[in-house]
């Protein structure tokens, strides 16, 4: 049986200037797992992503620095951030097991190119306790980070 998912906008789709951090915040109370998506249009030129990170907090954060970094989700230390495509839209994905996590998750994304982007959360509760196979970048995402 598929889990019940709720879609929660974390940050609306908007223009993001080069070098500007884009954060998203979501309240995960009552959920078992989260799929956090950063969705952008295609890059206008060769680009580099400076940050793609996840933090957590007991209280609602207003900035990424208000949270505590989550081990395994630091884009400068734990994995390589795949550059934005110049030919198609981009999706970056965090798959997060919420067991033992703080109530709020805060995400951070920064590119050296001006782009349009938004953060969206898919929050779910397991219906039957079964583990599901994790998708790979072949499913249209630039990065998929699990933890």
What pLDDT, on a 0 to 100 scale, did the predictor assign at position 17?
Answer: 87
Whole-model pTM over 0.75: yes
What pLDDT, on a 0 to 100 scale, did the predictor assign at position 82?
Answer: 83
Give yes or no for a contact between 83 and 47, defined as CB atoms under 8 angstroms apart. yes
Give yes or no for a contact between 91 and 141, defined as CB atoms under 8 angstroms apart. yes
Residue 50 CB contacts under 8 Å (≥ 6 apart), including other chains? 19, 110, 111, 112
d(CA 35, CA 92): 10
What pLDDT, on a 0 to 100 scale, did the predictor assign at position 127?
Answer: 64
What pLDDT, on a 0 to 100 scale, did the predictor assign at position 1?
Answer: 44
Q: Which two tokens stand for residue 133?
A: 């196979």
d(CA 3, CA 57): 25
What CATH number belongs to 4-128? 2.60.120.680
Which DSSP letter does residue 62 get? Answer: S
Please report, in tens digits, the pLDDT of each residue of the chain (147 residues total): 456 688 898 988 888 888 888 899 999 999 999 999 999 888 777 777 778 899 999 999 999 999 999 999 888 888 888 888 888 888 999 999 999 999 999 999 988 888 888 999 999 987 644 555 555 554 556 677 776
What pLDDT, on a 0 to 100 scale, did the predictor assign at position 77?
Answer: 86
What pLDDT, on a 0 to 100 scale, did the predictor assign at position 40?
Answer: 87
Long-range contacts of 27-30 (CB under 8 A, 24+ apart): 27/60, 27/103, 27/104, 28/98, 28/101, 28/103, 28/104, 28/105, 28/123, 29/103, 30/125
- Helix (H) or strand (E) holding 40, with range, is strand 33-40
């Amino acid at each position: 049986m598929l889990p019940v998912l709720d879609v929660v906008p974390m940050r609306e789709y908007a223009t993001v200037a080069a070098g500007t951090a884009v954060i998203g915040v979501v309240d995960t109370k009552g959920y078992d797992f989260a799929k956090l998506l950063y969705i952008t249009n295609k890059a206008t030129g060769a680009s580099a992503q400076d940050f793609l990170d996840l933090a957590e907090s007991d209280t609602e954060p207003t900035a990424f620095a208000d949270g505590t970094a989550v081990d395994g989700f630091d884009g400068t230390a734990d994995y390589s951030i795949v550059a934005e495509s110049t030919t198609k839209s981009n999706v970056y994905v965090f798959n997060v097991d919420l067991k033992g996590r703080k109530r709020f998750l805060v995400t951070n994304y920064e590119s050296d190119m001006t782009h349009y982007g938004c953060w969206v959360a898919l929050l779910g509760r397991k219906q039957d306790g079964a583990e599901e196979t994790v998708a790979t970048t072949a499913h249209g995402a630039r990065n998929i980070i699990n933890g």
